[in-house]
Amino acid sequence: MGYDNLIKQSGLNKTTEKASRRISKINKPRRKEEQDRNTRETPYLAKKERDRNTRGTPHFVKKQQDADTTGAPEKHDSGVPETPFSGQIFRTHSRKNPDVLSYRDYPKEPVDIDSISLEFMKKSCFVPLSVYNGTFEIAMADLKDADTIDALKFAYGLQVAVKKGKPDDILDAIERLYGNGRQSLETIIEEAGKDISNGENGAEEDEGHLRDLASEAPIIRLVNRLIVDAVEIGASDIHFEPYEDEFKVRYRIDGVLSDVESPPKQFQAAIISRVKLMAKLNISERRLPQDGRIKLRIRDKEVDFRVSTVPTLFGESLVMRILNRETLLLELQKLGFPQDILEQYVRLASQPYGMILVTGPTGSGKTSTLYATLSLLNSPENKIITLEDPVEYQLRGVNQIQVNPKIELTFASGLRSIVRQDPDIILVGEIRDRETADTAIQSALTGHLLFSTLHTNDAPGAVSRLLDMGVENFLLSSTLLGILAQRLVRIICRDCKEEIKSDARLIDSLRLEPHETKDVRFYEGRGCDACRHTGFRGRTGIFEYIAIDDDFRNMINKRAGMDQMRALALKKGCSTLRRDGWQKVRQGVTTVSEIIRVTLAE
Ligand SMILES: [Zn+2]
């Protein structure tokens, strides 16, 4: 595949993926009885079970897209009614192209109005949006349902303004705001306490009892609530951690752990068992680590969870890694690559053979970069095989193999078998030992393009690490094409971003040239609801990149040390993590302290 093609596909041209995703959000309205039954029995998560047919006109799709890309959901005012009576009814259905609400347009909190029967809302398929200036605004599936509108008008003595909503979204909002499915964690925990207040801490229960506990409705709701909240906040992991006298639940968001309201200690066994059941793990086995997977549909998105348990002193500790396909940024450009590095890297990735390494500690975004690279190279004429531990995302058209040392399927042994499968491109999850390194180099020498990762702090460190493992220098120099080092930095929240005075000492610690630090404006997030008062929202990568040319090859042949390699890289003007980080500070993307935090080890 040509270089130009690759650049084009690397995300520089917009794909239509977004549009098609929007289309799939538009659901076919369903018969009311069916909706009713569904929502009643399966409050929240199980909504995924409903099939989702797609329907929609191009006009509609565009509207949706616009609404979605503007970012934060519209806030609805739930003020007190001012004019007590007015007979007028606003109906938007008379308009030619009615706007249909996106699920984001629904309020976050129940609207402050005297109780409306849950059954009535469900049966007539409407939900309150706001009460403001004497107008009661509702979302409704059937705008022609004058009976319901009249009934509301009569009951509340307010004008009734109607917006069209999708039945699924409305029923969802009813459950979420007024139904049993959406209660605060606090309420659920309280309610669960009434049902499961046997005071046991779950140390000696038998399997049958555990299964019963885990199937209690409040426990199911509690676990669902924890999972949905985590996904909606954009967490990457949910941690369930038992301690001597408490049971903690924490979310990892943008790489940082934060506490969630913790359920009482006596629910520990029930909650852990519930998640284990969902992941099809053996709930009676609590002394050995276990791994499993859960696949759920949450808010129209397919979300995979990787579940792992380990026995600790005070019970099983469980972690759910959230593998949200939609947040996996499969386009290199969106990963924060500077344009020049992106072009060089893509040119390298279009070579027919050789080895490309991505380095960085755990959680530095290496997997995203490699998956993005593979999706870029993924075409019918390329056979791609990966060897991973674990397989994080399934890539269509890619043969992915899970390493399993228990049956002696290691990176090294797997790689030897892979080569016999005649691949063009190979991804080896990680090079940890000499055997894997040798096999990797061997396959790169014999006409394969091989990608792998190493846990080194920077790009020059990768060469030293491989040489230290005992890899032959001349083999390494003749196969290595390039090394990419990377980190993830948090992005300043755009809702509360403000200019700040620079801290000279912090900037000095980056050891930049004086001309680089001139005329730079610094920003910081003040903290707001949108970023949960952290001042940051989302992450992006910073990169260091070395393309191996003759000079570097000579150095490797001479077994030069890391310092010499680094000096050569600087002399050649290669970007370093700090330099690229600094560019992102200059662009107002992140803060100086973020750069220092993630490059501390340098
Ligand atoms: Zn903010």
Cα gap 52→68, rounded to integer Å? 19
User: Exposed/middle/buried for 222, CB within 10 Å: 0-12, 13-18, 19+?
Assistant: buried
Q: How far is the CA of 127 from the centre of ligand 1 (A)?
A: 29
**How far does the centroid of ligand 1 lie from the alpha carbon of residue 595, in Å?**
19
| Pick from 21-30, 115-124, 219-228, 442-451: least confident | 21-30
Cα 537 to ligand 1 centroid, rounded to whole Å: 7
With cut-offs at 50, 70 and 90, classify the pLDDT of residue 509: confident
How far apart CA 347 and CA 237 sit, in angstroms, is 34
pLDDT at residue 470, rounded to an integer: 95
386 confidence band (pLDDT: 50, 70, 90): very high
Q: In angstroms, what is the span from residue 491 Cα to ligand 1's centroid?
A: 10
Ligand 1 centroid–CA 263 distance in Å is: 28
Fill in the amino acid letter for 395: L
pLDDT of residue 328: 55
The model's confidence at residue 601, banded by pLDDT at 50, 70 and 90, is low
Question: Ligand 1 centroid to 262 CA: how many Å?
Answer: 25
* Lowest mean pLDDT, pick from 118-127, 174-183, 228-237, 577-586: 174-183
Q: How far is the CA of 492 from the centre of ligand 1 (A)?
A: 8
Residue 78 scores a pLDDT above 70: no
What is the 176 CA–ligand 1 centroid distance (Å)?
A: 25
Average pLDDT, the chain: 79
pLDDT tier for residue 526 given thresholds of 50, 70 and 90: very high
Question: What pLDDT does 185 receive?
Answer: 66
In this prediction, residues 410-416 reach a mean pLDDT of: 91
Q: What residues have a C-beta under 5 A from ligand 1, the ion? A: 493, 495-496, 525, 528, 530-531
pLDDT band at 357 (very low <50, low <70, confident <90, very high): very high
Separation of 498 CA from ligand 1 center, angstroms?
A: 10
Look at residue 304 in the predicted model and tell me its pLDDT: 86
17 Cα–ligand 1 center, Å: 29
* Distance from residue 342's CA to the centre of ligand 1 (Å): 29
Mean pLDDT of 225-249: 90
Centre of ligand 1 to C-alpha 118, Å, is: 35
Question: What does the pLDDT read at residue 353?
Answer: 93
Flag whether pLDDT at 428 surpasses 90. yes
Of 480, 468, 521, 473, the residue nearest 497 (C-alpha): 521
3 state SS of 261: coil
Q: Give residue 146 CA to ligand 1 midpoint distance, Å.
A: 42
pLDDT of residue 319: 94
Query: If pLDDT is split at 50, 70 and 90, which confidence band does 204 have?
Result: low
Distance CA 61, CA 408 (A): 50
CA of 420 to the centre of ligand 1 (A): 52
**Rounded to the nearest whole angstrom, what is the distance from the C-alpha of residue 109 to the centroid of ligand 1?**
20
Average pLDDT over residues 80-94: 33
Residue 528 Cα to ligand 1 midpoint, Å, equals 4
Centroid of ligand 1 to alpha carbon of 539 (angstroms): 14
Question: What sign results for the dihedral spanned by CA atoms 573, 575, 576, 579?
Answer: positive
Under the banding of pLDDT at 50, 70 and 90, the label for residue 443 is very high
Ligand 1 centroid to Cα of residue 591, in Å, is 14
How far is the centre of ligand 1, averaged over its atoms, from the C-alpha of 112 (Å)?
27
Separation of CA 223 and ligand 1 centre (Å): 28
CA 19 to ligand 1 center in whole angstroms: 28
| pLDDT(264) > 70 | yes
Ligand 1 centroid from CA 76, angstroms: 19
Residue 77 pLDDT exceeds 50: no
Ligand 1 centroid to residue 533 C-alpha, Å: 6
Calculate how far, in angstroms, residue 172's C-alpha sits from the geometric centre of ligand 1: 27
Instruction: Name the one residue in this structure whose structure tokens are 């890309």.
Output: 69
Task: Calculate how far, in angstroms, residue 496's C-alpha sits from the geometric centre of ligand 1.
Answer: 4
**Selection from 320-324, 375-379, 491-495 with the highest mean pLDDT:** 491-495
- C-alpha of residue 106 to centroid of ligand 1, in Å: 21
330 confidence band (pLDDT: 50, 70, 90): low
For residue 500, what pLDDT band results from cuts at 50, 70 and 90? very high
DSSP 88-101: -EEEGGGSSSPPBP
**DSSP assignment of 526-588:** ---GGGTTSSEEEEEEEEEEEE--HHHHHHHHTT--HHHHHHHHHHTT---HHHHHHHHHHTT
453-468 mean pLDDT: 94
Name the residue with tokens 């018969």: 31
Most confidently modeled of 180-189, 250-259, 509-518? 250-259
pLDDT at residue 144 is higher than 50? yes
pLDDT of residue 325: 61
pLDDT at 408 over 60: yes
- For the segment 169-173, the average pLDDT, to the nearest whole number, is 81
Averaged over 434-443, what is the pLDDT?
95
Provide the pLDDT for residue 527: 93
Share of the chain above pLDDT 90, in %: 39
Q: How far is the CA of 524 from the centre of ligand 1 (A)?
A: 9
Whether 393 shows a pLDDT value over 60: the answer reads yes
Rounded distance, CA 540 to CA 337, Å? 9
Most confident range, picked from 11-20, 86-95, 110-119, 469-478: 469-478
Question: Higher-confidence residue: 390 or 587?
Answer: 587
Instruction: Kindly write down the DSSP assignment for every residue of 49-90, as one continuous string.
Output: GS---B---HHHHHHHHHHHHT-SPPP-------S-----EE
Q: What is the pLDDT of residue 63?
A: 34
Quote the ligand 1 centre to 104 CA distance (angstroms).
Answer: 18
Q: Ligand 1 centre and the CA of 108: distance in Å?
A: 18
**Alpha carbon of 518 to ligand 1 centroid (Å):** 27
Q: Is residue 528 predicted with pLDDT exceeding 70?
A: yes
Q: Which of 172, 303, 156 has its CA nearest to residue 227?
A: 303
Which stretch of 52-66, 291-305, 439-453 has the lowest confidence by average pLDDT? 52-66
Asked which of 135-139, 190-194, 538-542, 592-596 is least confident by mean pLDDT, the reply is 190-194
Residue 533: C-alpha distances to residues 85, 230, 361, 408, 493 (Å): 41, 17, 27, 47, 9
Ligand 1: centre distance to CA 203 (Å): 42
Distance 86 CA to ligand 1 centre (A): 40
Highest averaged pLDDT of the listed ranges 5-14, 131-140, 426-435: 426-435
Cα(325) to centroid of ligand 1, in Å? 25
Report CA(538)–ligand 1 centroid distance (Å). 11
Mean pLDDT of the 115-142 span: 86
Distance of CA 219 from the midpoint of ligand 1 (Å): 33
* Mean pLDDT across 93-110: 67
Q: What is the DSSP letter of 404?
A: B
Residue 268's pLDDT is what? 92
